[in-house]
Amino acid sequence: MRSFQKILVANRSEIAIRVFRAATELGIRTVAIYAEQDKLSLHRFKADEAYRLDPDKGPIEAYLAIEDIVRTARDAGVDAVHPGYGLLSENPEFAEACAQNGITFIGPGPETMRALGDKVSARQIAIAAGVPVIPASESLPRDLTECEEIAREIGYPLMLKASWGGGGRGMRPIHEPEQLRAAIEEGRREAKSAFGRDEVYLEKLIGDARHVEVQILGDADGNLVHLFERDCTIQRRNQKVIERAPAPYLGDRQRAAICEGALKIGRHTSYRNAGTVEFLLDRQSGEYYFIEVNPRIQVEHTITEEVTGLDIVKAQIRIAEGGRIGSLHETGIPEQANITLSGHAIQCRVTSEDPQNSFIPDYGRITAYRGAFGNGIRIDGGTAYSGAVVTRFYDPLLEKIIAWAPSPNEAQARMLRALREYRIRGVATNLPFLENLLSHAAFGEADYNTRFIDSHPELLSAKKRRDRATRLLTYIADVTVNGHPDVEGRPKPPATALEPVPPRLAGEAPAGTRQVLAERGAQGFADWLREQKQVLFA
């Protein structure tokens, strides 16, 4: 088993910082990369070294430039590259380029990524592994007339999905044939922008569904384990908003079946490193269906760490070094029988989106910031701090709040407390919207599906926070600089005007209650007080 000396993270913001922290705890030096438009991002300053990417490339294009990133990694003398999530994390060409330059890619191999990163190919693997799947198409042809015929064969309603990548990018629900052509064109453009590839496919849409995913870890020796499941049902436009672990509505038998389904796919592909197998659970029938594999770390890996007590990012690094699962001193991951659940965890994604304005991302400088702390609260952030500039170039995610507690209801109450403690000024946030979600009775009862937000428009009617402190400080600053409007135009007192002199007493001050106390003592003073007929003021 080798030991890495230096790791480059080919990503930005909070996930880059998360990997830096894990590597630092392992005694490994860290390297950051950043685009010109991202030069003030916090992740740049959290690493031991940081290098700017090509300034002539765009804010996203810079992070997708494989040749530039690999050259930077080689010049910096790194042993390994961690891709984070999004960007190049599921790009097999990137993994191959690292290998060709003698750099370890911390993730599954390129062949596994090709097999599972392409959702159409992953579907065929699930069928071969004996895991239930939803009726779906192959990658759609360019001819839209052929696409219409494929859609008719599957049957409406449908869900359009990007063949590569995740995070809801490229996804479009299609309820009528008239929506098909526009949805395919829009989905292809979004997929191309997000992942550099525009392949899409169609899948039968299950109306009353829950979204459940299973975290798996595999090593080079063929050891494979699951770290149980996460509930990712609370979504908006196919983007996860709140995640929970474990799923509070699953029974032991159903949990075991879904986790075994994830392991079947992992075994079929000899899966190595961290990955997530995702399923849809039909609420009406109770049946579950495979939908995709994300061959990378997930945004919501945090809640699995909280309920299992295992560090997934450290395990990724150690597995890439050659560590074996089942050997705690090598990977920190025990055998399957010794992986257990403890308590419940919830994650909320705090974003700079305005719920009352169609969730349009807001940009600008954060003028005031106060996070949430206390027992059972974890914050993974990378953009939110006083003075931070939120730009229009990147995802509006500011921070992830994670709450752990022994029971689901306690975790819910703890998360609500944390959300109410938060103060972020200068940009709009979704904090009031998250409070509404957590406060809804259906959330506490786990009585929801993937369309929960769309079917409850009252969740968007969030009361704006008063922001009294910022208004008071603004008032003081304005009066200090510009003067009070009520005295505007009044002549200033002449410079020769005498300052007011307080009056002085003629003679000695009359005796008062202090003297009575000194003369009579405490009991005597109390007796004197009771004898007085007049009203006395303290």
The set of catalytic residues is: 240
For residues 187-201, b (16+ Cβ closer than 10 Å) or e, as one string?
bbebbbebbbbbbbb
Cα–Cα distance measured from residue 29 to residue 408, given in angstroms and rounded to the nearest whole number: 38
Residue 159: DSSP 8-state: E
Cα–Cα distance measured from residue 266 to residue 311, given in angstroms and rounded to the nearest whole number: 20
- Phi-psi bin for 41: left (phi > 0), alpha (psi -120 to 50), beta? beta
Cα–Cα distance measured from residue 277 to residue 429, given in angstroms and rounded to the nearest whole number: 31
Q: Which helix (H) or strand (E) holds 148?
A: helix 144-154
Do 265 and 125 contact (CB within 8 A), yes or no?
A: yes
Do 476 and 444 contact (CB within 8 A), yes or no?
A: no
Cα–Cα distance measured from residue 146 to residue 149, given in angstroms and rounded to the nearest whole number: 5
Do 244 and 345 contact (CB within 8 A), yes or no?
A: yes
Amino acid at 88: L
CA 2 to the chain's CA centroid: 32
Cα–Cα distance measured from residue 455 to residue 206, given in angstroms and rounded to the nearest whole number: 15
Cα–Cα distance measured from residue 152 to residue 486, given in angstroms and rounded to the nearest whole number: 73
Q: CB atoms < 10 A from the CB of 92, how many?
A: 21
Cα–Cα distance measured from residue 126 to residue 277, given in angstroms and rounded to the nearest whole number: 10
Q: Where are the beta strands (DSSP E) in 10-163?
A: 29-34, 49-52, 80-82, 104-105, 158-162
Do 111 and 92 contact (CB within 8 A), yes or no?
A: yes
Residue 420's φ and ψ, nearest 5 degrees, are: -75, -20
Lookup: tokens for 13: 């913001």
Do 449 and 435 contact (CB within 8 A), yes or no?
A: no
Lookup: tokens for 323: 């560590």
Which residues are 201's β-sheet partners? 161
Cα–Cα distance measured from residue 448 to residue 454, given in angstroms and rounded to the nearest whole number: 11
